[in-house]
Structure 1
C-alpha cells in the first residue's frame, strides 16, 4: 500500500460549486465512509511523531523531503511557504499567502518549478498569482530541489534551481484502500482541511486529493492589523491503470480557486482559478539495456481576476478597477533511460506552448468585472521545444561523472497593437497615452544551449561524499520581462521596446560541496560561484519600470548539520548566505536576501516529540535603491531580527497524531527584507515594509489508514 497524504476540499459560499467539484466532494464522503466501516489493515503505516523545523540536504546537490509532514512555522498554505523551510530559500512577501519563492537571490523563471513534470504559468503581469500560489504542498508525495544549473532533464532556463513537486503511483498488492486526512486550526481564524484517499488493486487505482485553507487578517508584533486574509481550495482526481508490474498509465484532472487580499499591492486577487489535465505513461524493463520509457502531456489553465473594491474599500480619489488575465499552457515530454554496467543515459525531447490573454476595458463603470471572459485579447504567445541528454558514468565504485546537454528552440510572438504606460490595456482608448506597437504581430526566435558536468566522489578516508560541478544555462526573457516593463530606454512610447531590447540571460556557475555522516553526526555544505551575462534587471522610476541587461557576479552557499548528542535529543543548525554584485556599474545587486541562520533542538521519545526553533536573520545594507525585479525593488536597508518558536506532537496511535505549536513566541515585531512595501489604500507607505505575523498558535490532527 502506498503512503501519501493530502488535503480535503470544502468550497465555501464564495465559490460556485461546479459539477466536478460536487462529484469530488461526494466521492470524499463515500471514501471516508468506507474507512469508518472497514477496520484498518495497514499496521505498518505509522504517522511520524515529529514536526519539521528545517530541511537538510539529502544527497550531493539535491534536497529531498516529504511535503506532507507538518513543519514549523505554521504548516504551509502554498508552495513558496513550504520552500522557505529549505536553507537558501526565501520569499517575496506581499501578505499572508501567495508569496513568490527566491533561491540564492534568484527569482522568477530562473527557478524551474514543476508539478508532476508539468509547468504552471501564472497570468498576472506583476506575478500576483506566482506559479507557487497554485501549489498545495500537502497534496504531493515528494519535494525535490536540484541546486544550480546541474540538470537538463526538466526544461529550459533553470539557472538557479529546479523544484519538483511530485506524486508517485499507488501500489496495491490486493484490493485495498488507504486514507490520509488532517484538520488544522490556528490564530487569525486559520482553518485547513485536507484529504488524500485511494482505492485500488494490482490492476489500477483511483485517488482523490483535495484541500481547503483560509485565514483572516493577521496582527503583527505590535498588535496592528495587516490586510492578508485568504480563502482557497484545490481538488485533484487521479485514475491509474497498472496492467503489469512494469506499466503505468495515469490520468489526472484538477481544479482550484481562491481569493486573497494584500497589504502590499494596489489590487487584491479575487480569483485564482486553476484547471489542469495530465496524462502520463511509463514502461519499465523494456530490454536488458532499455530501462524505461516515459511520456506525458499536460494542460494547465490559470484564470486570474484582480480588483480594488471587492476585498477592500476603494481609496478616496481612486476609481474602482478590475483586470482579468489568463494563461493556457500545453506541454509534453518523452524520456528514455538506458543502462549499462558503467553508464546510465537519459535522453528525451520536451516542449510547451503558452498563450497569455488579458481583458480589454475602458474607463468608468466598465472597469468593474461584468461577464467573465468577455473581450479577452491575446497579447503574447510562447513556444518552446528542446532535446536533452544526461549521462552518468561510474568511473569506479566510489566515483561518478555526470554530464548533460540540451538545446532549446524558442519562439515568442507579440500580439499587442499598442505600447502604453497603462500596459494592462491591449487596445488604446482615447484616455491613454500610447503609440502603435512597431513589433505588433511579429515574433523573435532564439536557439539556446545549456550544459553541465559534475564530479562526485564517495570519499574513503571519511564517510562523506564530495562534489564539484560546472553548469551553464541560457534563459530566454519570460513574459514579465518582455511585456510587463518598458525597454532599456525607459519609455513605453519609444522604440525599442523590451520585446526587442531584452537579451537572453546567460549563467555560468560552479557548484561544490560535501556531505558527511557518521553515527549521530551529519554535516553538509554546498556553495556556488557564478557569473551572469545579460542579467535582466528592473529599474523603477516615477514613470513605471524598465528592464535592461547588465552583467553580474554571484556567490554564496548553505551549511548545516545535526548531532544526536543524547538518547532522544537532537540539535540542528543551518546557515544560508547569498551575495551579488552588478559588475556593469560596481553596485550591489538588488533584492538579495540577508544572511540567515536556523537553530533547533528537538526531543523524541516513543510517541512524543517536542522542538524549539530559533530563526535569526541579519540586517541587509547591500542594496541598490529603486532596482529589483518585476515584483519587488530595494527601497532601503533592513534590520535584523530573531524569532523563537515551539512545537510538540503526540502519536495517539499508529493512525492518529496531534501536533501543536506557537510561532513567534515573544510576539516580535519584524519584517522581511524582500518585501513589496505597503499600499496607501490601507494607510501604508510604499517605502514601509509590511510586517510579519505576531505570536501565532496552531493545532493539527492527522489521521492515516
Structure 2
C-alpha cells in the first residue's frame, strides 16, 4: 500500500511537470525575483540572525535527513530536542519546555493533538517542506499569536500570492532512504491578476528502522497530506483566501503496545488581508479557521481486546489591525477567539469485542474550553535602536465532564519589553517577559496529587518570568549568542514516582542559552559551530528538573562551488546526570542518567541549471547505538528477533537520496 501511494504521487508529479512547459518558463521568470529560488546551499542548522528570532526556509536542502514532520525539522535548530517514540509523533521541546509551553501556530491556526498519550502532537500533522517560512520566537517575547508560549512560539507560515500576469510555478521532490523511507511532494502555484491557486500534495512512509546493533525498532508509519488554497486579489492591496487541508496517517511506536490505526486531520481557513494607504492605519487581517483531529488506537492486531477512538475539534479566528500612530511608531492591536472540544469512545472489555464494536459506540465528551484574548504589541524606532513592548489579556472557561466534573474560569495576563541596539556590525538586545498559562488537557487528565481518584482540575495557572539577552555580530564572521534565565511559579510537574501519575504545582527555575559561529574560510568553504545548554531546577523539592536535554554542540564544514556542494556534520551530546527521576512533563519523565554520544553525518548536492537538484546523504555514518536523554522507554518494542532495549534507540546508519525540481 505504501509503495503504491508513493508511485502514484511520483506519477502525478511527473505529469504536472510535463503538461505545460510554456507556463513553467513564465513561472521561472517570476521565480527569479524570489531570493529563495536561487539559493542552493546545503543548510546544516538554522541560527539566530536577528534578536530572539530564528527564521528558516524549509525548502532548502538540509542535514540531517530532510524532515517529514514539524518536530524533526525543529530538531535542527539549536535549543530544540525531540522525544523519541518511534518513527513519527515526536514531541518537540525548546530549552527543556514542551507541550503547551511551546506555542505551535499552523499558518494562523491554533493546532492541538487528540491522543491522551501524545501519539499525535500538533507538529505531527505538519510537513515542513510545504511551508514557505518557519519562525521561532524565543521566550515569551510576543503576545500576538494567541495564548503565549512561555518557552517560545513557532510559526509555520505560507505565502499569499499576487500575479501581475498569468503564470505558474512550483516544485516537486522525491526522497528515498534506508528502512524503506519514501517521501514525495508536488507543489503548484498558478494565477493571474485576479486569482491564484496554491496546491500541494505530499506523503511520507517508512518501515521499522534498525539501531546500531541491528535491532529492529517498532517505528513504521505512513502519512499523506493534501492542501488547497484559492485566492482572490481584487486589487494590489487586497487578498481573500480560502484554504482546505487534509492529513491521513497511521503509525506504530516502540514505547507502547497501542498501534495508531488512524491519525487524521481536516482543516479549513478563510483569510482576508487588506493594506491601507492611510497615515494611521496600514493593514487589517481577519481569519477564521476550524480543524478536527480523529485518532484511533488499539491492540487488536496483537490479539488484545483494547482500543480507543478520540477526537478533538478546534475553531477560532483573529482580527489584527496594524497602526502607525507616529512616524517612528508601529502598533498592532488584536482580538482572537478559540473553542476546543475533546471526546472519545473506548472498548468495554466485558461487553465489546473488536474494532467493529468500538466504531459503533457513541462518543462521550470529557473536556472543552473557550478562550478569548486581547493584545497590543508595538515597536518604537529610534536612530540605532528599537523598543518593543506587548501586553495580553486571556479569558478562559474550562469544563470537565469526567471524574469530579465541573467548570472553572481563569483570567491571565502576559506581557514583555525588549530593547534592541545596533552598533555597526553588532546587535544587542535585552528583554523581560511574563507569561501565564492554564493547565492543558494532558495535565488536567493526570491524577490530582491531593485526591488520586480525581483529575488534576485544581492546578494553579503557571506563571513564567524570564529575562533574555543576546549579541549578534556579522562582519566577516557571524556570531550569535542568546542567554536566558526564567523563574516559573506554579510550574506544572508530571510526577510518576507513586502508584499514580499525578500533576502538581511546584516552583522551578531554568537558565541557559544558545551560541553559534559561522565563518567563511574562503569563497567555497565555510564552517559552523553551535552550542546549546539548559539547566533546570525543581526549587520546591530541591531536585533537578526532569526532561532537560544535556549540553549539545554541532560542528559542520560546508563546501559550495558552482553546481556542487557538500557538508559534514558532527553532533556531540554530553552525558546527563542532572535528572529528576520519574518526573517530567506530558511527553515523558526521566528514566535514568544518560550517556554522551557523538554522531557524524555527510551529504553532497549537485544542481543542474538552477532547477534540478540531487542531494545524497548518510546519517549516523559509523552506525553507533545510542538514545537521546528524553527518549521514551522501549516498553512496546517486541518485534521478532529484537533484543530488549531500555530506551527507544535512535536509527543506525541510514542513507538517503533526494531529487528536487523547481519550475
User: How far did 1:365 drift?
Assistant: 6.8
Aligned residues: 652
User: How far did 1:232 drift?
Assistant: 0.4
Cross-structure match for 2:355 = 369
SS state at 1:40 partner? helix
Pairing 1:572–2:528 present? yes
Cross-structure match for 1:474 = 436
Work out which of the residue numbers 128, 149, 156 in structure 1 matches 2:119.
128
Return 5+ residue gaps in structure 2 as ranges: none
SS state at 2:72 partner? helix
User: How far did 1:372 drift?
Assistant: 3.6
Structure 1 distance, partners of 2:24, 2:371, is 51
Structure 2 distance, partners of 1:190, 1:378, is 38
Task: Sort the Cα spacing of 1:693 and 1:47 in 2 relative to 1 into closer, same or farther, 3 A.
Answer: farther
Structure 1 distance, partners of 2:240, 2:113, is 28
Q: Which moved more, 1:341-350 or 1:354-363?
A: 354-363
Q: TM-score w.r.t. structure 2 length? A: 0.95
Work out which of the residue numbers 447, 452, 463 in structure 2 matches 1:491.
452
Cross-structure match for 1:83 = 74
Pairing 1:324–2:309 present? yes
SS state at 2:25 partner? coil
Alignment check: 8 A CA contact 1:48 1:651 kept: no
Cross-structure match for 1:627 = 583
Work out which of the residue numbers 521, 528, 551 in structure 1 matches 2:484.
528
Structure 2 distance, partners of 1:653, 1:29, is 18
Structure 2 distance, partners of 1:659, 1:571, is 19
SS state at 1:159 partner? coil
SS state at 2:203 partner? strand
RMSD in angstroms over aligned alpha carbons?
2.1
User: How far did 1:342 drift?
Assistant: 1.3
Pairing 1:459–2:423 present? yes
Cross-structure match for 2:632 = 676
Q: Which moved more, 1:334-343 or 1:538-547?
A: 538-547
SS state at 2:114 partner? coil
Cross-structure match for 1:347 = 333
Structure 1 distance, partners of 2:318, 2:43, is 34
Task: Sort the Cα spacing of 1:523 and 1:25 in 2 relative to 1 into closer, same or farther, 3 A.
Answer: closer
User: How far did 1:28 drift?
Assistant: 6.7
Structure 1 distance, partners of 2:278, 2:177, is 54
Structure 2 distance, partners of 1:26, 1:412, is 48
Structure 2 distance, partners of 1:128, 1:489, is 28
Structure 2 distance, partners of 1:118, 1:373, is 31
Alignment check: 8 A CA contact 1:102 1:108 kept: yes
Pairing 1:243–2:234 present? yes
Structure 2 distance, partners of 1:363, 1:39, is 58
Return 5+ residue gaps in structure 1 as ranges: 1-9, 16-21, 420-436
Structure 1 distance, partners of 2:548, 2:600, is 24
Structure 1 distance, partners of 2:228, 2:10, is 11
User: How far did 1:308 drift?
Assistant: 2.0
Structure 2 distance, partners of 1:79, 1:355, is 24
Task: Describe how 1:263-662 pairs up with structure 2 within 5 A.
Answer: 263-310=254-301, 313-314=302-303, 319-339=304-324, 340-364=326-350, 366=352, 368-370=354-356, 372=359, 374-394=361-381, 396-416=382-402, 419=403, 437=404, 440=405, 442-460=406-424, 463-483=425-445, 485-489=446-450, 491-492=452-453, 497-500=455-458, 502-518=459-475, 520-541=476-497, 543-662=499-618
User: What do the CA deviations read for 1:227-266 (whole angstroms, capped 9, x no partner)?
Assistant: 1111000001100001111100000011111111111123
User: What do the CA deviations read for 1:184-243 (whole angstroms, capped 9, x no partner)?
Assistant: 101000111101101101111011111010011111111111111110000011000011
SS state at 1:682 partner? coil
User: What do the CA deviations read for 1:432-467 (whole angstroms, capped 9, x no partner)?
Assistant: xxxxx3xx2x2100000001000000024xx11100
User: How far did 1:107 drift?
Assistant: 1.1
Task: Sort the Cα spacing of 1:564 and 1:279 in 2 relative to 1 into closer, same or farther, 3 A.
Answer: same
User: How far did 1:98 drift?
Assistant: 1.5
Task: Sort the Cα spacing of 1:687 and 1:550 in 2 relative to 1 into closer, same or farther, 3 A.
Answer: farther
